[in-house]
Chains A and B, each alone.
Chain A
Amino acid sequence: MDILIGGILLGGTYVLMALGLQLQYGVARIMNLANGEILVAGAFGAFWFYSGFQANPFLALIVIVPLAFILNWGIYRYLLSPLVRRAKSRGQLEVDSILATFGLSFIFVGLMLAVFGGEYFSYGYLERAVIVLEQPYGLNRIAAFCASAALCIALVLWLNHTRSGLALRAVAVNPTAASLVAIKVARTSALAFAIGGAVTASGGALLSMFLTFDASIGVIFTLKALIIVILGGVGEIRGTIVAAFMLGLAETAVASLIDPGLTLAAAYLLFIVILLVRPQGLFGSRS
């Protein structure tokens, strides 16, 4: 039971890391290697509000989310859409976006380094024990989990029950066909990219409650997010959520039952085995 709850809490953390990338890659077709840096920027934002104004990370979201939205919209509009227009094929776009966002991630690291310095940042918020079924858990992890659950529900509702959500899904499935039914592909992609960035940044703000971070640590989150998105299947929000919880549960189970030293090994093994059985990820369909 302890493993189950611990795993679900960790899964919630992973959802926050990966959901934004899924929107950016699945819809806007940008494999954003700067995703982790956006997350760290969100964490820095929350830290700054916490240490400067004693504002808790949830309040900080009110500022961080719109800022991240605008920033990412701008990145897509001015830096990436020229590449999208230029690309002759999806493969070409993949190569270009890898190169461009890799550069972008360096720029972000450099900027955060200049603004905040290179040392470790860590602050304790809601670092209290909550007893669930006789086992203690960190209140901040539970709070982050609740926030990520709320975020997932909101996203799924929006995607499935609104017009703009429908447009997003249509672009995810087939941009060419979507443009034929009068969906503005470029705008929808920009929207998806911006929302993805905002989700990632808010994830960073929430994770900063219990993770130690520094300006250069983003690549770790990017790697994790890439693994989860691919495991779930490209363009599949459900897949990402399931994959995140699967990894969370697997890691916690291995850490508790076998050896904590093998947690990450087990996670990657799971990823590899699943991909060997289902080469398009859990929910992906062969195109």
Chain B
Amino acid sequence: MKRILKTIGIGALSISATFFTLGQLQAAEVIKIGAVAPKTGPLAGGSTVSHWPNLKLWVSQVNGRGGLKLKSGRAKIELIEYDDRTNPGETIKAVQRLATQDKVDFIISPYGTGLNLAAAPIFAKYGYPQIAVTAITDKVPALTKRYPNLFFLLGNTTAFTQSVADILKKLVADGKIGNRVAMVNVADAFGIELANAARPIFKAAGLDIVYDKSYPLGTQDLSPVVKGAKAANPDAFIAWSYPPDTFGLTAQAKIVGLNVKAFYTAVATAFPVYAGKFGGAIENVLGAGGVNPDSAEMKAYRKAHKEVTGKDADYWASPVVYASLQILEQAIEAVGSKDRKAVTAHIKANSFNTVIGPVRFNNQNNDKFWTVGQWQNGVFHGVSSTGRPGAKTVKLKSGW
């Protein structure tokens, strides 16, 4: 019986092995780039907005130009995509498959903090540069020390919360609002980290946290949360929220009439669908991220994104994902070959012109990023950053 099993096993292995070798027959003048991110599962809703469309846009633009400029000539990009179904085990397997079976030249970083960190050891092992975008953590120094190929582009938890605190502190100092803050967070990784980072920072900024509660991911009725916050009579409402609850909280705030002068929700506030759903009601809503929509690069990017993918880019992670691809592109072209070690070294040592402005990594970490944005006249403008120009002044929200 055991023998039969083994025969079956070996048979299956060899069948799949043949499949893989068939997949490896490629034409010349091609640069193979792999991508792993959720197309299904809990994080798919975010990655389909911020991640995948940018890959499509970038590949179509680069190949439209004739490919990447290498010393040996132009090389067109062949993109190999895998769906990890928001499962770290699958991410690991898919990155391994890209590295050792498909033998791709470069790999785009995965989506989400957890999936990026799960894949980091493999990127490091094979020397692939990993320009992580949608991974926000406070462990940047420890992680970059551990993984010399890992770069962080989108920012860190402390900066995001610090910016919110600074905005509120200034509004309080200017006498525009009182110092009572209602704070809620989704009880999941990113929400927990942001809330934990925010508590001491808010206190240090002289803010009085009058309501501080979490709610589980997947809560279907957020009205008790919003009503509880309203009952605490706050001057500002801060929610470290995920996409579904960002929508839910905003809708409830509108219904319950939570008329604070500063209203902040975190992830997905910058999504086009957020504006599509609420229209003019979200004027002056604050949220995580932001861009400088007036720069020429950003305008061109948004136009191309719409043309190629048929959808609007979001106002936070989308352009940063695109910027990570631009960095990779510029580094590969500067080195002029598929030498991953040289490309990684180039990324570490140089400055890059991207859609979000010039980027120069400081110890593998980009320390100039947008932290807070605000909906103003139908556009999500950056209002606070750690060194990006073009911030608008924060406006007070006046009702829904």
Contacts and interface: CB of A to CB of B under 8 A. Distances in A.
Interface string A256-274: 1001110111000000000
Tell me the dominant secondary structure on chain B's binding face: helix
B73 interface: no
Contacts of A236: none
A138 interface: yes
B187 A261 contact: yes
A103 interface: no
B216 A263 contact: yes
Contacts of A123: 276-277
Contacts of A121: 273
Contacts of B228: 255-256, 260
Greatest chain A CB density within 10 A among B187, B220, B251, B278 is at B220
B215 interface: yes
Interface residues of B, number: 44
A120 interface: yes
A107 interface: no
Contact of B225 (A119, A216, A255): A255
Given A129-B257, A261-B213, A124 B251 contact: yes
A160 interface: no
Contact of A122 (B214, B223, B247, B256): B247
A118 B39 CA distance: 7
Given A136-B257, A260-B213, A265-B216, A124 B221 contact: no
A168 B201 CA distance: 61
A216 B334 CA distance: 41
A2 B227 contact: yes
Given A127-B254, A260-B224, A120 B215 contact: no
A76 B220 CA distance: 30
Contact of B219 (A113, A138, A216, A260): A260
A264 to B, nearest CB: 4
Interface stretch (B13-21, B44-52, B118-126, B384-392): B44-52
A120 B243 CA distance: 8
A216 B187 contact: no
Contact of A264 (B218, B248, B276): B218
B9 interface: no
Given A118-B44, A120-B268, A220 B218 contact: yes
A222 interface: no
A261 B216 contact: yes
B218 A136 contact: no
A129 to B, nearest CB: 5
A3 B227 CA distance: 11
B252 interface: yes
Contacts of B219: 260, 263-264
Given A124-B251, A129-B257, A261-B213, 19 more contacts: A2-B227, A6-B224, A10-B220, A113-B40, A118-B44, A118-B48, A119-B273, A120-B244, A120-B273, A122-B274, A212-B248, A251-B221, A256-B228, A260-B215, A260-B225, A261-B215, A261-B216, A263-B216, A264-B218
A118 B43 CA distance: 10
Nearest to A2: B227
B255 A136 contact: yes
B184 interface: yes
Interface in A242-257: 248, 251-252, 255-256
Contacts of A282: none
Nearest to A51: B276
B42 interface: yes
B41 interface: yes
B88 to A, nearest CB: 16
Greatest chain A CB density within 10 A among B52, B221, B243, B254 is at B221
B237 interface: no
Interface string B204-232: 00000000011110111101110110000
A18 interface: no
Contacts of B251: 124, 127, 138, 210
A23 interface: no
Contacts of B216: 261, 263-265
Given A119-B45, A214-B44, A13 B214 contact: no
Contacts of A3: 224
Interface in A11-55: 13
B244 A212 contact: yes
A213 B251 CA distance: 14
Contacts of B274: 122
Interface in B255-291: 255-257, 268, 271, 273-274, 276-278
